[in-house]
Amino acid sequence: MIQPAHRGIYEFLWSEHKNSILSVSIKAFHGIATKLGKRPMILALLKKFAEHSCQEETERYNALLNAYDEIKNVLTRKERQTIIESLLEDENETAKLIYELPLKYNCKVLSGCRLFFPREQGLYKFWDAQDKPGLWCCFGAFQLHLTTNQVISKISILTEIEKKEILDILQNLKKGISYQDYNKFPDNLRKILQNHVMVAIPGKKSAWLNPRIPIEDVSCENNPFEVDQLEASALAIENIWDESEYLLDVIAKAPNLTDFQTAFSKNNLPFIIWKEGFDCEEAYKDIEERYINRLALDNGHIG
């Protein structure tokens, strides 16, 4: 399902990124917050996420403290003390504790907090556990929603791993596994899980399934799913962004035509039902126009 860009989606995305941005610098934090002012600058927001995702975390200590403040009320006195003591000795252990301990109380405040996820992967995506459960891919000019079943079918087809086996892996991740065991997963599986914001690896000490992902009712049937032309275009853009060596070069703008022609193809999107009526040239013009209009809106030239 495609949805027009709206402020609320990007405010939620920002809420997941704020501690990660804070770990870079307070200046970066305040600079990005202004992008969601009276006139939201959505494309600039996404670019800033990409820019800061590869910068050094010089303020990680403060970011961890900020994350701790968000969950401390659900913890016992002993658990709070353990976290504070760990901050003085091992920030990676602190990250592990801050992410893991709230899960005991079904507290999902930090479920998608990017301070605990690979910083450069899936930064334009988030999981919704409320109104529309599933994955939102936020492209700036519009959003694409995928159900959990569609995402897991997609992963199974792309990795050539049976869907039942994928579900078993996710069930284990839901309980938490060691980082060493997670690193034994096939490289392509880890990459695609991380590209879909599915695995938190706090402090590189453990690995957890994103708690916002409902896997209990996912079907074991593994079939390509049906999309329309615009949805196929969005999935092609997702492929371009996820496969880019430097996300800042491609994010928050229409892709170049050559890259789009390669991505918008049956071979590159084997997890969807490819329709004979899909027209690459028409699809590209539609995408290009949507980004032109979004940029104009962001800059106050429309509306």
SS (H, E, C) 192-234: HHHHCCCEECHHHCEEEECCCCCCCCCCCCCCCECCCHHHHHH
Give which of 150, 153, 179, 147 is closest to 166, Cα–Cα. Answer: 153
Chain length of the chain: 303
* Residues forming a β-bridge with 2: 144
Strands 2-4 and 125-128, bridge-based pairing? unpaired
Q: Would you state the pLDDT for residue 5?
A: 82
* 302 pLDDT higher than 70: no
Token digits for 260? 């789009």
> How does pLDDT run across 107-128, given as a tens digit for each residue?
989 999 999 999 999 999 999 8
Q: Would you state the pLDDT for residue 20?
A: 96
Whole-angstrom Cα distance, residue 170 to residue 196? 13
> How does pLDDT run across 30-78, given as a tens digit for each residue?
888 888 777 889 999 999 999 999 899 999 999 999 999 999 999 999 9
Give which of 239, 117, 92, 280 is closest to 190, Cα–Cα. Answer: 117
What is the spatial order of strands in the sheet that 199-200 belongs to?
177-178, 206-209, 199-200
Q: Would you state the pLDDT for residue 303?
A: 53
* 176 pLDDT higher than 60: yes
Average of per-residue pLDDT values in the chain: 94
Q: Would you state the pLDDT for residue 4?
A: 82
Note the pTM of the prediction, 2 decimals.
Answer: 0.95
Whole-angstrom Cα distance, residue 74 to residue 76? 7
DSSP 102-117: GGGGT--TTTT-GGGS
Q: Would you state the pLDDT for residue 36?
A: 79
Q: Would you state the pLDDT for residue 182?
A: 98
Whole-angstrom Cα distance, residue 178 to residue 161? 22
